[in-house]
Amino acid sequence: MTLTSPPGSVDTAAPTKGHRTGRWIKDWRPEDKEFWTETGAPIAKRNLIWSIFAEHLGFSVWLIWSVSSAFLLAMGFQFSVEQLFFLVAIPNLVGSLLRVPYTLAVPKFGGRNWTMVSAALLLVPTLGFAYAVTNPDTPYWAFCLIAATAGFGGGNFASSMANINFFYPADKKGAALGLNAAGGNLGVSLIQFFLPIIVGGAGIFGLVKASEGGIHLERAAWVYAGLAVAATVAAYFFMDNLESAKSNPREQLSVLKEKQTWIMSFLYIGTFGSFIGYSAAMPLLIKVNFWRQPLPSITGIGINFAFYAFLGALVGSMARPLGGYLADKYGGARITLFAFCGMILSTLTVLFTLSKLTVLPPPPAPDAVAEIAKDPAGFQFPEAVVTAIDANKDVFPWFLAAFLMVFVFSGIGNGSTYKMIPAIFRKDALRDTDPDSPERELALHSQAKKASAAIGIIGAVGAIGGFLIPITFNSPWVTEPLAATKNAFWIFTAFYVVCAIVTWAVYIRKRKGANADAGYVGV
């Protein structure tokens, strides 16, 4: 890397010839301890804070449909359970696909500049959401299209993580990336916590009552549109671009040829794909299996999803920096294997609780709901529904506890896998060069760029799990919701077993003979 400023200095003046205008730091050496202590750490911390804020909003917008979809029926939209599960899955698919171009955008345009653009793009899904939910004639295909634009928020994660990866030294990447990701992941929990309150539904375990004026989903959209503007302005004033992060797309996409990129992508489907997929599906899972309320004017019976939907994402987000910290201390591969073993045991426990549930009779058909609406005061729940709901309420605490443990271990795995990615590429550089040589310095810098590109690719593939999980819960070959849920968890458990085996075989098992030094033990 060519230094264009005196050693230890930070130059945020006009960019070099042929570059765009803006705040560009030309000299950035986080592995230099003196530079890091005196100059780098405060700048990195400032960029991390505002990166977390922007990414947090991105996650909130990305998952806004996960909880709002459960309120659509209360607003008079006649969508089936299958349509609702597909609606919450669409943003996850689009968000995963956008993570690749969002990652490439950081070296192309600068981390600060792209944070501004990506935050401003959140106005598209929020304003579209506000229009759709206030128009009773909005067709289902329009809802799907608007939900797809919420994927912009999912792309934010990849660019944010790729950007922050450049700012921190190797021994602090696990904690920094864990905090950055956790701050974003918390957006899922907070949107699921506050949206029912903002829109006049219910929340805080019933301490806040539903609005007598009905549900107003557009309120949440306006709140997050305003916050998107705030994030754009904050990035403009408080974030920086790094000259050393510049790279062309061909150089970045070279990581697609790396076998380790695809192995880690597979593992990340198991950790982050589980986190985002379960977060999207949890409100509907609770609603379908534990709650009945044909009309907002009728008091529901069972477990209200609005009181509990946010808990999974909350504990998963809080566990992510713990996974990064443990990975820094004990090694990412060991903690990742521990996380997958925990997810296996947790999903098996969830399956045990599901075996204790009573199958709920199907909800009333649209014609029956229309009849109920004519005289809601005279409606009484059928005895079979009341009996099944009462039985399932007793099982719910155990179901929730087991499900939350799945989130805890997925969060730990999220933090540890993101520690592994830069460690893998760094190990390649150390293996192929001599200590204290110029070649090693160049190799470490080149591998840091590859690691940031790989983070985006791996994040993109992993996020596909957020689409597959809701779709699997809505298995078209299983007509009864509870049976579909059980089948899905069996599939997920088997997948986690495979992930644990791969983690052990590739990153923990010690090799012998001529290949003893070729592995990645200790990453």
Q: List pLDDT tens digits, range 88-97.
A: 889 988 998 8
Q: What pLDDT is recorded for position 162?
A: 82
Q: What pLDDT is recorded for position 145?
A: 95
Cβ contact 459:103 at 8 Å: yes
- Assign 227 a pLDDT band (cuts: 50, 70, 90): very high
What number is the average pLDDT over the span 424-445? 78
Nearest to 300 by CA among 374, 375, 191, 379: 379
Does 390 map to a domain? yes
Question: Parallel, antiparallel, or unpaired for β 241-242 and 24-25?
Answer: parallel
Q: What pLDDT is recorded for position 190?
A: 85
For residue 123, CA distances in Å to 65, 88, 384, 459 come to 15, 19, 46, 23
- Assign 394 a pLDDT band (cuts: 50, 70, 90): very high
121: buried, middle or exposed (CB in 10 Å: 19+, 13-18, 0-12)?
buried
Rounded distance between C-alpha atoms, residue 424 and residue 477, angstroms: 41
Rounded distance between C-alpha atoms, residue 115 and residue 55, angstroms: 9
- Assign 348 a pLDDT band (cuts: 50, 70, 90): very high
Does 184 map to a domain? yes
* Other CB atoms within 10 A of residue 354 CB: 18
Residue scoring higher pLDDT (34 or 210): 34
Rounded distance between C-alpha atoms, residue 483 and residue 474, angstroms: 10
Rounded distance between C-alpha atoms, residue 157 and residue 95, angstroms: 9
Cβ contact 91:65 at 8 Å: yes
In degrees to the nearest 10, what's the CA dihedral of 95, 97, 102, 104?
A: 160
- Assign 182 a pLDDT band (cuts: 50, 70, 90): confident
Residue scoring higher pLDDT (14 or 220): 220
Q: What pLDDT is recorded for position 519?
A: 63
What number is the average pLDDT over the span 26-41? 91
Does 4 map to a domain? no
Residue scoring higher pLDDT (373 or 35): 35
Q: What pLDDT is recorded for position 15?
A: 36
What number is the average pLDDT over the span 135-158? 91
Does 315 map to a domain? yes
For residue 433, CA distances in Å to 257, 427, 441, 442 come to 21, 10, 9, 10
- Assign 344 a pLDDT band (cuts: 50, 70, 90): very high
Does 232 map to a domain? yes
pLDDT greater than 80 at residue 514: no
Phi-psi region of 198 (alpha: psi -120 to 50; beta: other; left: phi over 0): alpha
CATH code at position 319: 1.20.1250.20
Q: What pLDDT is recorded for position 45?
A: 95
In degrees to the nearest 10, what's the CA dihedral of 281, 456, 163, 271?
A: 40
Residue scoring higher pLDDT (440 or 27): 27
Lowest mean pLDDT among 168-177, 196-205, 342-351: 196-205
Query: What interhelical angle do 274-290 and 309-330 show, nearest 10?
Result: 150
Q: What pLDDT is recorded for position 7?
A: 37
- Assign 209 a pLDDT band (cuts: 50, 70, 90): low
Q: What pLDDT is recorded for position 14?
A: 38
Rounded distance between C-alpha atoms, residue 271 and residue 106, angstroms: 24
Counting the structural domains of the chain, the total is 1
pLDDT greater than 60 at residue 25: yes
Cα radius of gyration (the chain): 24
Does 375 map to a domain? no
Q: What pLDDT is recorded for position 157?
A: 82
pLDDT greater than 80 at residue 156: yes
What number is the average pLDDT over the span 441-463? 80
Q: What is the mean pLDDT of the chain?
A: 84
Q: DSSP state, 208?
A: B
pLDDT greater than 60 at residue 21: no
The tokens describing 458, both together, are 């791996």
Q: What pLDDT is recorded for position 516?
A: 54
Does 158 map to a domain? yes
- Domain residue limits at 148: 30-367+380-515
pLDDT greater than 90 at residue 502: yes
Nearest to 447 by CA among 523, 506, 515: 523
The per-residue pLDDT for range 284-342, each reduced to its tens digit, is 888 888 988 887 777 889 988 778 888 998 999 889 889 988 998 888 999 999 999 99
Give the position of tokens 């106005």. Answer: 123
Contacts of 433 (CB under 8 A, 6+ apart): 439, 440, 443
The per-residue pLDDT for range 359-381, each reduced to its tens digit, is 888 888 778 877 888 888 888 89
Rounded distance between C-alpha atoms, residue 368 and residue 298, angstroms: 14
Contacts of 478 (CB under 8 A, 6+ apart): 484, 487
Cβ contact 126:61 at 8 Å: yes
The secondary structure element, H or E, covering residue 39 is none
The per-residue pLDDT for range 115-124, each reduced to its tens digit, is 999 999 999 9
Rounded distance between C-alpha atoms, residue 14 and residue 355, angstroms: 65
Lowest mean pLDDT among 23-32, 44-53, 225-234, 508-517: 508-517
Does 23 map to a domain? no
pLDDT greater than 60 at residue 243: yes
pTM of the model: 0.78
